[in-house]
Homo-oligomer: A and B are copies of this chain.
Amino acid sequence: MASDKVLLDYGSGGRASQRLISELFVKHFSNPELERLNDAALLTPNGRISVSTDSFTVDPIFFPGGNIGSLAVHGTVNDVAMIGAVPKYMTCAYIIEEGFAMDDLEKIVASMGEAARHAGVAIVTGDTKVVPKGTVDKIFINTTGVGEVIADPVPAGDRARKGDAVLVSGTMGDHGLTILGTREGLSLESNVKSDSASLNHLLVKLVQEIPEIHVLRDPTRGGLATTLNEITHASNVCCELEESAIPVLPEVAGGCSFLGLDPLYLANEGKFICILPEEYAEKALEIMRADSAGSDACRVGTITDANPGKVVLVTPLGGKRLLNMLEGEQLPRIC
């Protein structure tokens, strides 16, 4: 590379841009379609497709458990898979601040390549914009994923039904606490790190073995509580959660207590909620626990028709309180 910093020149469409594209991205994302470097990628998916987009503005960009790049791949892979699809392709658009360190860019790009390979997706086209210092904070990334849908009907937020079991694939709040803790300069315990991971292999297995699944969703921004509220609102049902059943790492609970946070409202980037008819709950838990992405899977609640659109937390003493959607919490740049 001519420089150890990303220059404005890299994004204006000129020769230096060409070098950036050729050397870095093709090197880490190598696949035949990307190498054609056309304006658009030509793809041949089979049948129905799932498409999802997300922008990643996380701060800090490097954190225990990952970085903005790996997060961007895992996040979109997961969203594509949540409607019962096999993620196949991804686009990747960078907005980079002038002066950003090339070494850091290479680390991020390399992480993305690795995450994509692990998830089995090809990064087929992309875009790079370099903007003047101060107009973006370091780097933002957008990923848009395309997958082949295998479920029919597809799991969806409006399909939760009275009597369904509510499962989660593992511990809550890890990613959110890691980000906020790192920003606050806390020394985190070594096992407190972002749970950012691609869940597609497990999700595809689940959907293939239990086509009766009603809802799959990852509780990202706003956490478990907010995501369940979205679902109960869309499905017009109630969710009763057993507080003592919700898995939270002791160290995460401790960190949350210290920072005045509630793990039920913190983002998760490697976990999902599964809502399905009661009779399939045990089978689903078995499949989830057999996979490293779901080893701490457990049942946390039940869908009822008691308070449509609401989420009710049942405390260990049997008391009930409403778990509302997140409101007025200033938690930016978590993912």
Distance of A156 Cα from B42 Cα, bound (Å): 10
Interface residues of A in 214-248 (CB under 8 A from B): 217-218, 220-223, 226, 230, 234
Contact of A91 among B8, B144, B334 (CB under 8 A): B144
Distance of A174 Cα from B229 Cα, bound (Å): 49
Closest residue of B by beta carbon distance from A146: B51
Q: Mark A129-150, 1 if CB is under 8 A from B, else 0.
A: 1111011110010101111010
Distance of A135 Cα from B138 Cα, bound (Å): 9
A18 to chain B, nearest CB (A): 7
Contact A221 B13 (CB under 8 A): yes
A14 to chain B, nearest CB (A): 3
If A144-B91, A157-B36 touch, does A11 touch B50 (CB 8 Å cutoff)? Answer: no
Q: Could you say how many copies of this chain the assembly holds?
A: 2
Interface residues of A in 299-314 (CB under 8 A from B): none
Interface residue tally for chain A (C-beta within 8 Å): 87
Contact A83 B40 (CB under 8 A): yes
Residues of A at the B interface (CB closer than 8 Å) are: 8-9, 11-18, 36-45, 47-55, 57, 59, 79-80, 82-83, 85, 89, 91-95, 98, 124-127, 129-132, 134-137, 140, 142, 144-147, 149, 154, 156-158, 217-218, 220-223, 226, 230, 234, 267, 324-334
19 pairs of residues in contact across A and B, judged by CB atoms under 8 Å: A9-B329, A12-B331, A12-B334, A13-B222, A13-B226, A14-B327, A38-B83, A39-B83, A39-B217, A40-B80, A42-B50, A43-B48, A44-B47, A49-B49, A51-B144, A52-B125, A53-B144, A95-B95, A142-B144
